[in-house]
Amino acid sequence: MLGKTGYPNEVLLNGQWLPAAQATVSVFDRGFMLGDGIYEVIPFYRRKLFAFEQHLQRLRQGLESVGIDYGTDQLRERTAEAIARSDYEDGAVYMQVTRGVAPRKHHFPADTEPTVLLYAYPFRFDGFEQKLAHVLLSEDFRWHRCNIKSISLMGNILANQAAHQADKTENVLHRQGWITEGSHTSVFFVKDNILYTHPNGPYILPGVTRDVVLSIADELGMAVREEAVAVADLRLVTEAFLTGTTVQVTAIGSFLSDDRRLVIGSGSAGPVTRRIQTAFAGRTKAL
pLDDT single digits (tens) 219-276 = 999 999 999 999 999 999 999 999 999 999 999 999 999 999 999 999 999 999 999 9
Q: Topology of domain 10-122, per CATH?
A: D-amino Acid Aminotransferase; Chain A, domain 1 (3.30.470)
Write phi, then psi, for 285 (nearest 5 degrees). -75, -20
6 pLDDT above the threshold of 90: no
Rounded Cα distance between 30 and 19, Å, is 23
Give the pLDDT band of residue 7 (cuts 50, 70, 90): confident
> Among 48, 105, 131, 149, which one carries the catalytic annotation?
149
Give, in order, the Cα–Cα distances in Å from 1 to each of 23, 92, 95, 122.
Answer: 16, 13, 17, 9
Q: Where exactly are the structural domains of the chain?
A: 10-122, 128-285
Q: Are 244 and 186 in contact (CB under 8 A)?
A: yes
- Domain 128-285 in the same topology as domain 10-122: no
3 pLDDT above the threshold of 70: no
Average pLDDT over residues 3-19: 87
Q: Which residues contact 258 (CB under 8 A, 6 or more apart)?
A: none
- Please provide the average confidence, as pLDDT, over all residues in the chain: 97
**Strand 132-139 and strand 248-257: pairing?**
parallel
Helix axes 75-85, 52-66, angle to 10 degrees: 130
Rounded Cα distance between 35 and 102, Å, is 13
144 pLDDT above the threshold of 80: yes
- Is 149 among the catalytic positions? yes
55 pLDDT above the threshold of 60: yes
1 pLDDT above the threshold of 80: no
For residue 82, give the nearest of 118, 40, 136, 41 by alpha carbon. Answer: 118
Rounded Cα distance between 287 and 42, Å, is 14
Q: Are 189 and 237 in contact (CB under 8 A)?
A: yes
State the pLDDT at residue 5: 59
State the pLDDT at residue 160: 99
State the pLDDT at residue 4: 53
How far is CA 192 from its chain centroid? 28
Q: Topology of domain 128-285, per CATH?
A: D-amino Acid Aminotransferase; Chain A, domain 2 (3.20.10)
State the pLDDT at residue 112: 97
State the pLDDT at residue 142: 98
State the pLDDT at residue 2: 61
What does the pLDDT look like over 68-102, one tens digit per residue?
999 999 999 999 999 999 999 999 999 999 999 99
Give the pLDDT band of residue 126 (cuts 50, 70, 90): confident
Q: Which residues contact 250 (CB under 8 A, 6 or more apart)?
A: 128, 131, 132, 133, 169, 241, 242, 243
State the pLDDT at residue 280: 98
DSSP 229: P
Helix axes 208-219, 271-285, angle to 10 degrees: 110
What does the pLDDT look like over 189-225, one tens digit per residue?
999 999 999 999 999 999 999 999 999 999 999 999 9
Q: Are 38 and 66 in contact (CB under 8 A)?
A: yes
DSSP 39-50: EEEEEEETTEES
